[in-house]
Structures are given as C-alpha cells and as structure tokens.
Amino acid sequence: MLDLSGFGAQLLQGAVVTLEVAVLSLLFGTVLGILGAAAKLSALRWVRVPVTLLVNLVRGIPEFLILLIVYFSLPSFLSSLTGTDVSISPLVGGVFALSLVFGAYASETFRGGFLAVPKGQLEAARAFGMPRTRIFTRIHLPQAWRYALPGVSNLWQTLLKDTSLVSVLGLEEIMRKADIGAQVTKRPFNFYVAAALIYLAFILLSGPTFAWLERRAGRGLARSP
C-alpha cells in the first residue's frame, strides 16, 4: 500500500524511541505535576507564588520554543553552575523540555484532583491519628489521582504528539526517521503518511490503556448504573 522501500524497520525503530521519550516525559512530568500542584496549594507564599508564576510562563510559550530554549540554554546554564563543560543529548533535552511542559499543565489537573477529594475524608484520617505523609500517600493522592486521570489522559495524547518536535533536534524518533527515508527515496508523502499512521495507532491504543487505568483507580467505588 505505502511503498517505504525497505525503510519500514527504521520507522519502527523510530517508533520505539518516540515511546521512550513519551513515557519518560510522562513519568517525570507526572512527578513535576504533583509537586507543582502541592506547591500551588501550599500555605507558604514563597512556595506558591513563584511556582504559579513559572507554570503560567511555561503555559504561555509554544512547546516548540520551550524545547529550543531548553536544548540551547541548558548546557551553558549547567556549565556555569558546575564549572565544567556540560553538553546534553537531544534525548535528554527533549525529555527535560517535554516533562517541564507536561508538568506545568498537569499541575493544574492535579490541583483540581487534590481539591476534589472530600474534606471529611482528610479530617477522618487526621482523627485516626495518621501522620501527614501517610494521609497524603494513602488517602489524598490515590483519590486525587482518580479525579486527575481523565485530564492526564488528554495531556498524554498531547505529549505523544509533541514528541515529534524533538526530531528538529536530530533525535531519531519517528519523524526524523521519516525525514531520512523521505530524503533518500524521494517519496516524502509515503513516509510522512506512514509516520502519521504510527502516531494515530499510538493514540488509539492509549485510549483503552487509560480506560483500564481509570477502572483501576476507581476500584472499590460504587458504579452508577
């Protein structure tokens, strides 16, 4: 159907790299998002204000520009910090930038999740004498997670598509592999359509995965008929 002149395996290798970037950014970004939400809800002004400001800055700048800023300015920043020459790979730069973007948006999602947990439950936990950290890990976070999951699912789809931007830094993920195939074979249409289909497959597959996660997060809850 789509003649890829033997570059199909290359594209699939690229797909693996795309998944690596996306999953790593999802993990780091989720942690950043939870920390960011905690900071935004903090009673301490000097924690809340700068984090809120940073999140708003990140959300006001195109993802592509953030990727470029991170990739080109992080090495000199780290070098001046450590006093040695630091260089970062496109993979590290890409994961760093995408995690930052994901974390910024996810902090809003998780903030909503944390606020949605009924106060009575937290009070009940306190009345039992649970220590603060255990209230967080056993009561607050698992339920906030359930409320936040649909939002995280949307952010994941955006993240998956944003990984294509890292190809501009030269990381050999789907898009970069498609670029190479297109240049060699002079059939750009075939390659970019093939790349599009791989992304589409990933997006379609993540639907059931998140549905499963949502079922898992909501286990033990009475389902409305």
Partner 1 sequence: MTDLLAGLQEAWVRQAPLFLSGLWITLQLLVVSTAIGLVLAVPVALARVSPRRVLSVPATAYAYLFRGTPLLVQIFIIYYGLPQFDAVRGSVLWPLLRDPMPCALLAFSLNMSAYTGEVIRGGILAVPAGEREAAMAVGMPRGLMLRRIILPRALRIALPALSNEVVLQLKATSLASTVTLIDLTGVGRRLAAKTYTTEGLFVAGAIYIALTFLVARGFRLLESRFAAFQRP
* Binding interface with partner 1 (CB under 8 A): 57, 59-66, 68-69, 72-73, 76, 157, 161-165, 167-168, 175, 178, 182, 186-190, 192-193, 195-196, 199-200, 203-204
Task: Judge whether 37 and 113 are in contact, CB under 8 Å.
Answer: yes
Shortest distance (Å) from residue 61 CB to partner 1: 5
Shortest distance (Å) from residue 101 CB to partner 1: 10
Smallest Cα–Cα separation from 18: which of 172, 170, 209? 172
Separation between Cα atoms, residue 98 and residue 70, nearest integer Å: 10
Phi, psi of 130 (to 5 degrees): -65, 140
Separation between Cα atoms, residue 181 and residue 10, nearest integer Å: 8
Judged by CB, which is closer to partner 1: 38, or 182? 182
Shortest distance (Å) from residue 26 CB to partner 1: 16
Judged by CB, which is closer to partner 1: 27, or 201? 201
Task: Judge whether 64 and 86 are in contact, CB under 8 Å.
Answer: no
Separation between Cα atoms, residue 86 and residue 125, nearest integer Å: 47
Smallest Cα–Cα separation from 110: which of 135, 138, 147, 139? 147
Task: Judge whether 191 and 178 are in contact, CB under 8 Å.
Answer: yes
Shortest distance (Å) from residue 173 CB to partner 1: 11
Shortest distance (Å) from residue 111 CB to partner 1: 17
Phi, psi of 60 (to 5 degrees): -90, -5
Task: Judge whether 171 and 94 are in contact, CB under 8 Å.
Answer: yes
Shortest distance (Å) from residue 126 CB to partner 1: 33
Judged by CB, which is closer to partner 1: 6, or 62? 62
Judged by CB, which is closer to partner 1: 109, or 190? 190
Give the DSSP letter of residue 48: H
Judged by CB, which is closer to partner 1: 26, or 144? 26
Judged by CB, which is closer to partner 1: 31, or 65? 65
Shortest distance (Å) from residue 164 CB to partner 1: 4
Judged by CB, which is closer to partner 1: 69, or 221? 69
3-state secondary structure of 216: helix
